[in-house]
Chains A and B, each alone.
Chain A
Amino acid sequence: MLVRIRLYIQVFGVRGMLTATGRRLRTLFYLNQRFIVLLKPLDSIVESRRPGDLRVEDLEAKHLRALSELNRRRGRPQIDRRFATNVSSNFHGFVAWRDGHLVGYYWWVDRDAPLLHPDLRDLDLGIELEEGDVYGSDFFLLEEFRGAGTATDFLCKIEKSLRDRGYRRLWGYVDSGNRPALWLYRARGYESMWILERKRRLWLWRKAVLPYD
């Protein structure tokens, strides 16, 4: 715990650490979440106009060490354990490299995954994977490598790789307040399917699935 706090202070400063702690404590009792469930038909992939120099490859157990370094760089070493669990659960993924550094990742499962993906299990997104479907999650690119179409390039390479494996539809979700991600997905032709609203008041959760107009 102390190591995590020290690392967080190194990355975000004392104020950042206190803000994050306050926010975390608040979410234990009060939380409003609005997730937009997305669907991308993989037969209509628009090429990135600025194909960058990202090298994208399948995520394997050998990448866990580099992923751990990346998680430390972003001040979130606690994710290491989830990544190790994902790999041991035979979840799939991609990693993005630039200049010899791992700068991003993405996870995905299909309906043959031996375990239900935690998002599908815990968030109750209402997604039922069918033959030819994939669920993608945790699209991440280090902050200093964002911009200049890099995220678009990474996502485009992911979509093409999934399409080339025979998948036809890519499901996912985005927090409606995450504007860069929301724009990235919409600009790449992801359809908004429905909205999942989750509210927490003390220990009570309320959930509503709303149509997307």
Chain B
Amino acid sequence: MDIGSEVEGFIVEKITLDGEKIARDEDLLASDTLDSLAIVELVSFLEARFGIRVSDDDLMPENFKTIDEIVAFVAAKGG
């Protein structure tokens, strides 16, 4: 499974909980999908699953706005 599918699976199963597919370019901030608690869960998942370290400075909207951007961020971190 590719990074994007894993990230989408995590968001659907653990955050939105509605089973609805999420488009890779859907704005997760505008839809309030990634609220302040969800981001902590997502970062923990990314760190554990892909072995990356997400610093406080990485916690920027441009890194987490869409699944595509999360994938690019994980790849840039070497995950």
Contact = CB atoms under 8 A, between A and B. Distances in A.
Q: How large is the interface on B (under 10, 10 to 19, 20 to 34, 35 or more residues)?
A: 10 to 19
Contacts of B38: 147
Interface of A: 46, 48-50, 146-152, 176-177, 179-184, 186-187
B36 A183 contact: yes
B39 interface: yes
Contacts, number: 49
Interface stretch (B1-9, B26-34, B68-76): B26-34
A179 B36 CA distance: 8
B35 to A, nearest CB: 5
Interface of B: 29-32, 34-40, 43, 56, 59-61
A177 B36 contact: no
6 contacts: A46-B30, A48-B32, A150-B35, A152-B32, A177-B56, A180-B37
B36 A151 contact: yes
Closest 10 CB pairs of A and B: A180-B36, A149-B32, A184-B36, A183-B39, A49-B32, A147-B37, A176-B56, A50-B32, A149-B35, A183-B36
Contact of A147 (B30, B35, B43): B35
B32 A182 contact: no
